[in-house]
Amino acid sequence: MRLSPLDSLIAPWQAAAPALPVAALAPEAAIGCLAASVIVAPGPVPPGSIALRAGLAVRAEDLIGAGPQSPVMQTGRPPALRPGDLLPAGTDALLDPEAVQDQGAFLEITESAVPGLHIRRSGEDLAAGQVIVPAGGRISARQAFAARLAGLDTLPVFDLSASLEGFDAPLAALLTRLLEGCGFRIADDDSVLFRLEPARTTTPRLALQPGETGWIEPTGHGFRIEVPPRFDGALAMTLAVLLPLVRHWTGARPVAQTGILSRKLSAGLGIAAIALFKTGPERLEPLALGEITLASWLAADSYAVLPPGIEGFAAGETFTTYRLAPLLA
C-alpha cells in the first residue's frame, strides 16, 4: 500500500500561500488571533506622569529640608490625586496627605520629597515604538490590554477561518480548541479557508502516525481537511498538517524548548510520527510515539513531529520539542 508522504503533500500548498484576509478588530476581540503585522505602541504609556498611589501632587524642589522640626509653610493645598491620575504641570512627586497639616491661613508640610516619588513618568510603562505583539504573534489578553492602554482601538489580524461539519460533540469541541490555539475563528459560511469533516475511509493514505486515514486537498479558494474520527488523529492532523501551513503563511512560531532525552526514542522509517513528551527538572521524558493514548496526552506538555527517514534518538541526546499550550507564541 502506497502512502502519501506528508512533506510532498503540503509543500506545494505552502509555496502557493493564499492571500490571507486581514481584519481590524478591537483589542479584546483580537485575543487568540495572529497579528498580521507588528503591533507597536504609537506613543508613550503613560502619556504623562501619573500617580501610583493616592496622595498630593507637589514639586519636590519646594520641599527641600522639610521635616517635623522644620516644616515648610505654603498657602495653597496641593492637588489630591488618585492612582492613575495625571500629575498637574509643574509637579513631580506625590506626598502622603498626613504630611500636610492645616494651620489656618497656612499649610504645614512636614515631609520632603524627591522627584519621581510615588509616580510613573511618561513612557515608563511602554516607550513609544515598543513592540507589543510581533508579526505573526498570537495575541494574548495581556497584549490586548497593553494595546488598549497604548491607545490602539483596533489591531490588524489574519482572518483565519474554519468550519466543522459532521463531528460528534466531544470531537467538535476538541477541534474547536485546537483550531483556536492556531489562531482560527470557527465559522459556518462559504468563505472559510478550511473545511474540516470526518474521514469516511478506513484505508490508510497519509504517511502520518497517528492520522493515516486523514487527508487534505484544495477546494477553490480554500482547503478541505478530512480528520480521522478519534482524538489522536485530530491531534495529528492539527500538529502535522494544519499548523505547519498556518506557520508558513503567517510567520507564527511555536514555543520551542530543549531538553535531554531520558531514554531512547525509536522511530519507524518512511512515516512521520507524532511524539509526546513530559518535561522534568533535568530530563525530557518521551510518553508516546505514533500510538497516542489518552493518558499520554493528558500527561504531555510538549510534542514533536518526527520526519520519515530518521531511525531515532539516543538517551542523553539533546532534543527540541514544542509546547502544547500554547501551540503558538
The dihedral sign for the CA sequence 307, 172, 255, 33: positive
Do 260 and 311 belong together in one domain?
yes
Q: 227 lies in a domain?
A: yes
Amino acid code (one letter) for 77: R
**Range 132-137 average pLDDT:** 96
Q: Which residue has the cell 487534505?
A: 216
Mean pLDDT for the stretch of residues 102-129: 92
Distance, CA of 43 to CA of 122 (rounded, Å): 10
227 and 170, same domain (yes or no): yes
**Residue whose cell numbers read 495653597:** 76
Q: Is 137 exposed, middle or buried (0-12, 13-18, 19+ CB in 10 A)?
A: buried
Is residue 82 in some structural domain? yes
- Among 69, 97, 120, give the residue marking a domain's end: 120
Can you give the CATH number for the domain in which 64 is found? 2.170.190.11
Q: Are 44 and 50 in contact (CB under 8 A)?
A: no
Average pLDDT rounded to a whole number, residues 149-160:
97
Residue 198 forms beta bridges with which residues? 227
Q: Same domain for 113 and 59?
A: yes
Residues 227 and 165 in one domain: yes
Please indicate, yes or no, if residue 177 is contained in any of the structural domains: yes
In a domain, 195, yes or no: yes
Q: Which of 250, 285, 311 is the last residue of a domain?
A: 250
Examine the pLDDT at 267 and tell me if it is beyond 90.
no
Model confidence band, residue 221 (pLDDT cutoffs 50, 70, 90): confident
Structural domain boundaries enclosing 318: 256-323
Could you tell me the CA-to-CA distances from 30 to 144, 176, 238, 328 in Å, in that order? 7, 17, 22, 15
Same domain, 165 and 231: yes
Does 208 lie in the same domain as 263?
Answer: no
If asked whether residues 260 and 244 sit together in one domain, one would say: no
pLDDT at 1: 58
What CATH number does residue 185 fall under? 3.30.379
Summarize the confidence of residues 142-162 as an average pLDDT. 97
- What pLDDT is attached to residue 17? 64
Mean pLDDT over all residues of the chain?
92
Residues 166 and 246 occupy one common structural domain: yes
Mean pLDDT (whole number) for 96-116: 90
pLDDT band, residue 269 (cuts 50/70/90): low
User: What does the pLDDT read at residue 76?
Assistant: 84
From the number of C-beta atoms within 10 Å of its C-beta (0-12, 13-18, 19+), residue 133 rates as buried
Average pLDDT over residues 241-247: 92
Q: What are phi and psi of 147, to 5 degrees?
A: -65, -40
Same domain? For 105 and 59 the reply is: yes
Residue 156 falls inside a structural domain? no
Report yes or no on 114 lying in a domain: yes
Q: How many domains are contained in the chain?
A: 3
Helices (H), 57-205: 141-149, 169-181
CA separation for the pair 95, 109 (Å, rounded): 9
If asked whether residues 165 and 215 sit together in one domain, one would say yes
